[in-house]
Structure formats: structure tokens, C-alpha cells
Chains A and B, each alone.
Chain A
Amino acid sequence: MRKSGLLFVVAAALVLGACTSGTKGDPAKPAESEGPLLKGSGTLRVLASSELADLQPILADAKQATGVDVRLQATGTLDGVENVVSGNAAKQYDAIWFASNRYLQLHPGAGDKIGTATKVATSPVVLGLRQSVAAKLGWTEHRPTWSEIAVAAGEHKFSYGMTNPASSNSGFSALVGVAAAMAGTGAALTAEQITPLTPRLRAFFAGQDLTAGSSGWLADALVKQAAQQPGHGVDGLVNYESVILSLNASGRLSEPMTVVYPADGVVTADYPLTLLAGVSGVAEQTKTNYAAVTGYLRRPSVQRQIMAKTWRRPALPNLALAPEFGPKGGPLPELPFPGRLEAANALIGAFGDDLRKPARTIYVLDLSGSMKGERIQGLKNALIGLTGADTSLSGQFSRFNGREQVIMVPFSTKPGQVRRFDVPEGDVQPTLEQIRSYAGGLAANGDTAIYDALFVAYDQTAALAKEDPDRSTSIVLLTDGELTAGANVEAFQARLPQLPRVPVFTILFGEGNVAQMQRVADLTGGKSFDARTGSLPAAFKEIRGYQ
């Protein structure tokens, strides 16, 4: 895995070098008129938005040119912000590189944790739709407003995928954009303006049939759906323009997407590479490395490469955009981002509890004998964390939501008693307490009948979907050991075509069969999460972005 990744980087660097006319293939040699390069040495450790992984080839060039090795560690929106504000990020990283610093800077004291910020590229959040669907809606000629888009989504005239605003920057920016546009007050959104928007925002999110914790997985899921069931997957994505244009350019789509630029505006990511203030100051070498890297990334020739490779717009003014960038006519105003933390947080909270399509979340939980002790305690903590006991920033917004249906399918030698919790709209506390006490009472004993339990989960889904189909349904499968009872994975695969399409998110844990868990995730359009080295609560929290 690591080896092929490296090979990819090298190959991509070669391709890049080959098509960089200004530098004659040698990034260490500045293009004429761009002045001398500042040199650094060592590494720059950067906590970054996951989508920036596509800059690896550019960063490989940057290393050659400046001597600085930029190492990116991916993080989600709220986790990243939390790490900076708590001061933990400064212990491990030299810099942060998020889609924007706007949300971070709303936090009191955040300004003292960061230093110089340098914008590297920009990308607006837009709607990408299969060409035929965009044409049918008339949106290849007419640019709809976010309100028109919401009405069409509410009438199920198209469906889309979007990342979870609490997990991923693109989903958060999209939520801010659509809410700001609908409020239409001419000024930044305030907390009290959110509730009146609920009906229109619900209509918008009624069209969301795919969710994810990261932009990269979301784009892959769309490609997979389009290949496996042409015409039946989601029709598009609400995401960065760069994600849509990259997909179009990748050749992975049989039908390219039209970028719909909403007439009333967008929220734009501006990717500021930002030095952290450090625990006790910042080393001169780090400051020099930072200046060298940002100086390199903002050279006109490199800005053009970033545009060509990643479909992000240059941060520098005066560079011509490739013809793929739109809109072809009319303005694309920047929508205001909330200026107060309470407004931004109220919006993220409202998304989960009031606005999103409600979730049906099924937990298939291994309570076999091997789960005794530390493991069952980890599982209890994980579930209890999701009932609001985790008060961290990311914990607050990953708890079970209002209107969510949470179903527990415990198993050992046989599938156990199914328990269903319907979290109401409004006061969620009593139901969350029931879940908490249920989790506290879990006990381990017996064998491991994984697939029998999975069948029970599917049966539950099918039965519930008859009365209440309009939910975002998913299954989480936790097991810590090999199958010792009941149906096997081949039996599961054989029966899969008759089962409803529900993604299964599997957790790699204990002595669980890694290959089988990955196979189940692949077969169902889910994803596997590794809790062998990290903690179960962290894995459960990460999965919330995909439910």
C-alpha cells in the first residue's frame, strides 16, 4: 500500500514536471521573472483537510524546490478546529491547512493559537448534476437560486450526495451557503433566523440520498453507484467545484456532470496554509520553512499547476481560468459566513436535529464471550458517548439526533433481542437516557453468529421501510472475532441481491476477520473503520459522518 502510494507520487511528479513549460520540468529552477526561491530544510507538519491529499504531487515538487518536506495529516472539520483551540495541534503540528479558517476564528482565543495565514487556492461549493438531469431541469440554460434548487429537491426531481457538515468542510460550507441564500436578509445569518428556514431547508435535504464523512469517499461512492446501477444512483453532488471538475476530468463517469452555479451565490473555500503559534513560540527554521513553502505555492507557475492538477482556482489574482470554470454568464456573489459562533453552531446542530433526512441507524453488536472486560466497556463508552455524554465539539454534533431511529441488534450464539429507540423531534433527552441505560446493561457471553445477526438487521430494515421509507438507513457491524455460529459470508453474499440496498459500515476490532469485514463493506457500498489501534468511541464517532 505504502509502496504503491509512493510510486504514484513519483509518477505524478514526473507527469507534472513534463507538462510544466515555465520551469522546464525542474521545480527547483524558478520560472523566469518569478525571482529567487527561499530555501528551508526539514519538515513542515501540517494538519489538513482530507481533500488536500490531491496536492501530493505539487508538494513533492515543493520539496525539491525548497528543501522542505510538507507532511499532511488528514482531519475533519470539527476535530481539526477542536485540536487547534485546545492547543493540542501545536504539540504535534507546525501548521494547519483547512478549507477555510472562518469557523475556527469564531472560537474565542483561536487567534492566539495561529500565526501567519496564506491563501493557496479557492473553490466554491456548487451543485454538480448529471448532464441529462441538469438539462431536464432547464439548469443548463437558466441558473437556479438555492431556493429553486431546494424546491426541485423537495419534489424529488433529482437526488444528490453531500458530506456531513459536522465531519467535513464541504458539507459545512454547503449548509452555510444554502442557509445564507435562503435567509436572503442581505446580511450574515444570525441564530434566530435559522428556525424559520426549517421547512425550506428540509425540502432541500429531502433530495439528499447519499452522505459521507469525507469528500473523497463521497465522490468514490457516486462513481461506484453510477457503474453498478446506471441511472439509479444519486444524480449529483453538492460539493466543491474542484471535486465535480476533477470527476469530470477523471474519465470515471460515463455521463459528465454539469456544474450548476446558484444565481444567488456560493460559499468559497480559500485554503489558507496557516502557521500555528506553537506551545512556546515558533522555531526560526519553522518560520523559514513556512515562508519557503507558501512562497513556492504562490508562484504564478505553481498556481497554474494547482489549477491544472486539482481544479482549484488560483489564489493569486490576474491568472486566467481554464474554460471549464464557470459560470459563463452573470455574477457569482460570495454569500456571507456567520460572524458569530452561536449562529454557526446553531446551524450545525439544526442540521442533525431538524433539517436532514432523518436517519435509521442499526447497530449489529457482538456480545460474544471474547468481548468481556475492556472490550465491552469500550463498546458501552462508545454508545454512551453518542447519547450526549461526549461534550467535546465533535462529540456534541455526533450524538444521536432528533427524529433518528436507533436500532440495536445484539448477538452472540444467536441474534438477541432487537431494541428500537425512536428519538423524538424536540426534547431528545429522555430517549437518549434510555439508550444510555440500555448500553450500560450490555453483557458478553457465548459464540459469534455474525451473519445471522446481519440478516436480522436487514429484516428490520425491510419491515420498517414499508411504513416509513424516507430515511437515510445504514448498518454498523461490530465483531471482535471469527464467525463461530450460523450463516457464513458466502451465504450472505448469495442472499444480498434479495436484500434492500443498505450500506454496512464494519469495524475492524480485536481478532475480527479483516478480509471478511472489508468484503461486507465493499459488497454493500459501505466502508470499514479500523478500531484495532484507535478506540471504539473514536470509530463510532467517525461513522456518524456516514449515517
Chain B
Amino acid sequence: MQNLGVKRTGPLIVLVLVLVVAGAVVGHLLGRSAGFGPGKGPGKLRQVSAIVGSEKARFFADPEVHQVLARHGWSVRADAAGSRQMPTRTADYDFAFPASKAAADEIRQHGNPAGDDVVVFSSPLAVASFVPIVDLLQTAHLAARDAGGVWRLDLKALADANRRNLKWTDIQGNTAHRVARNVLVATTRPADSNSAAMYAVLLDRATGGDLTAVTKLFTDQGAVDSTSEEPFESYLRSGRDYAPMVLVYEAQFVDHAVNDGLTGGQTLVYPTPALVCEHTIVPLTQAGVEIAKLLATDHDLQRLAAKHGFRTADATLTAPVFGKVRPGDAPLPDSIDGAVPDPDYKAQHTLLAKLEERMS
């Protein structure tokens, strides 16, 4: 069996397996007892609401997901927000579903959780780009293929190039993208969005803590969006006119590649160093506790998460989806080697506070 899981998630797999078994038993019992009760028939669903990272909006809007949730007696309305906007917005929601453990910790610090965090699935940070752009990056010694053929973007080299204001038009022999703008990755606001915050963590690591260089890669962009799906949607809609490189979760790219098809030469690059984001539920009510368990353990919901590009603990679910996506004519990486560990809440908070201060 192909290992599409992530190396760091070994203990997680065990945990989820335990939960799967436990969930199946509980679900079985619940199903039996609820068989005749209310909340089973159509129109008698228990309404819950969630605040979720925008990259998961397509998953929660999927009619199949609604069907499975309804089968278990639930109707979920998911409102999108940046993961780092969530701590002040959790009032009246049953659960928050940010894009990382660190973001979940932030919510937990601010709120009054009803249960333990539940990691539901994961997705590495990646950069959505275009074939001719990746070639230019190679010419500029900013990107190269690894042994498996996967394109990797060297963040240290990118920061070095940005320090000297390298523009696309400065790259030798560039006829493909003649736009006199600095070479950089378009992101969201680190103050609002987990993906940008995690990118800042990676840049901090790559530059050996050069906060000036990290800040410049954000401020050069000017004003940007708050949630990860917005720049990705602009990338899909306007292509290179919006930005030649856009920070995404791998899941967003895979979802569109598999479910909508990509025809404009879009391709995917992985940053070095890499980082895998564990999309984590913070339950805020008892219903949230139950839904979190269901999302993490229900085979159909996990299969649907894989359909939308997320890496699930059970690699057999992701294999049929990921097998269809070959950016740069290479398979998606089985595992994310050399991923930096999820930064702890405190270290990340200190870095981001300093970054935000410099950006304002």
C-alpha cells in the first residue's frame, strides 16, 4: 500500500484508529437508539453552526457531506473565517475548525472549549504556480526538482532574492512573464490567516530569524486578503495577472484539479523547509464534541475529505484522489520530508506579534 500519510503523523494514526473503532461502536449504539427517536427523519436534523477555515468551505458545501451528516442527524452551517480571526469570533458556534494545532491553541486560550481538540485531517503548505513560472524560478536558482521529480521552492534563496528586489523582468531570458514586480509568493494577512502565519514561521526558519527579510516578503505585497481561499480563487480566476505564485494548502489545489479540472498550466511547488498543517477542531459545545468525533472517524466523511484534497490518516482514502494529480508531471509527494515541527503557540505568537508590529 502506498503511504500517502505524513511521516510526522505516526502517533496520530494510532490515535485516529482508536477513535475510528470507538466511534464505530458509539455510532452503532447511537444509531440503534436513535433509530426510532427524533433527529433521524428528514427535517428533524439537529442544527449546528461552525466557524471554519475558508479552505474547508468547499468540503462543508458539498451536498454529499450534507447527506452523510444528515444520515447522522446533523445539519451544519459553516461560516468561513481566517483561522487567526477565530479566537474573537467563537460566540454562539458549536465548533471552530482552524487550519493548525497552533491556531487551535490560540482559540483555546481565548475561549471555553467543551472538549479536547480533534485533528481531523492534514494538508501541507504549498505554492500554486504555473509551468512557465516554475521554469523561471529554476533559471533564477530559486526552485528545483527533487529526486522524486517534485518541485521545491527554496525559501532561503527566495528571501535572499527579495532582499535585493529581484523582479520577474530581471530573470535572464524571461519572455514568459514580463511583469516588473518583485518575485514573491502572494499570501493572506498573517494577523488573520493561518497559512500566512505558518509561512512566516517557515521564512523565520529559512532566514535564521531575519525579521527584516521576513517582513519585506509580506509588506512588498501591499494590502492582501484575510482568508486562504480568497487569493487561491483569484489565482484560479485571473491566473498570473493576479499573482504568479500563491500560498495555498495542497488540499485546495488538489480539490480543484480533481473536481473542476485545471487547464491553464497550473502547477504546484512545495516550499523548503516544509510544514504540514493539522486541521483541528476545537469543540465549543457538546454538539461540537460529537461532530468533531464524527468528522474524524466516519469513513464516508474521511473519504469526502480526501476527495477535497486533504490528507487523511487512512492513506487508502487519499490514494485514488491524489493519483489523479501530477503537477509538473510528477506525483504528489508521498510524505513531506523535513517538515518543521508545528511551532508551539507561544513561540509562534511572539514571532507574529513582532511581524505584525513591523507591518503596521
- A residues near B (Cβ < 8 Å) are 35-36, 38, 102-103, 105-106, 108, 111-112, 115-119, 122, 180, 184-189, 264-265, 270, 275, 277, 281-282, 284, 287-288, 291, 295, 313-318, 331-334, 336-341
Contacts and interface: CB of A to CB of B under 8 A. Distances in A.
Contacts of A187: 165, 181-182, 219-222
A186 B244 CA distance: 14
Given A35-B63, A339-B359, A340-B360, A111 B191 contact: yes
Interface string B165-206: 101000000000011111000000101100000000000000
Contacts of B91: 281
Contacts of B223: 102-103, 105-106, 188, 336-339
A102 B225 CA distance: 8
Given A116-B79, A291-B77, A186 B167 contact: yes
Interface in B199-243: 218-224, 226-227, 230, 233-234, 236-238, 240-243
B179 A333 contact: yes
A117 B260 CA distance: 23
Given A116-B81, A334-B242, A36 B226 contact: no
B222 A186 contact: no
Contacts of A281: 91-92
Contacts of B238: 332, 334
Contact of A287 (B49, B181, B227): B49
Given A284-B49, A334-B242, A338-B222, A119 B233 contact: yes
A8 to B, nearest CB: 31
Contacts of A180: 222
A331 B241 contact: yes
A101 B81 CA distance: 15
A117 B226 contact: yes
A334 B241 contact: yes
A288 B77 CA distance: 8
B80 A116 contact: yes
A186 B192 contact: no
A331 B179 contact: yes
Contacts of B237: 122, 313-317
Contacts of B241: 265, 331-334
A118 B61 CA distance: 14
- Of A180, A270, A341, most B-chain CB atoms within 10 Å: A270
19 contacts: A117-B227, A117-B230, A119-B233, A186-B167, A186-B181, A187-B165, A187-B182, A264-B180, A282-B92, A284-B49, A331-B241, A334-B238, A336-B181, A336-B220, A336-B222, A337-B222, A339-B222, A339-B223, A339-B224
Contacts of B79: 115-116, 275, 287, 291
Contacts of A287: 49, 77, 79
A286 B178 CA distance: 46
Contacts of B180: 184, 186, 264
Contacts of A115: 79, 81, 89
A194 to B, nearest CB: 14
B54 to A, nearest CB: 9
A125 to B, nearest CB: 14
B2 interface: no
Nearest to A122: B237
A277 B90 CA distance: 11
Nearest to B81: A116
B88 interface: yes
A119 B226 CA distance: 12
A184 B236 CA distance: 26
B219 A339 contact: yes
Contacts of A188: 219-223
A82 B106 CA distance: 29
A317 B227 contact: no
Nearest to A181: B180
Nearest to A190: B219
Given A186-B181, A317-B236, A336 B221 contact: yes
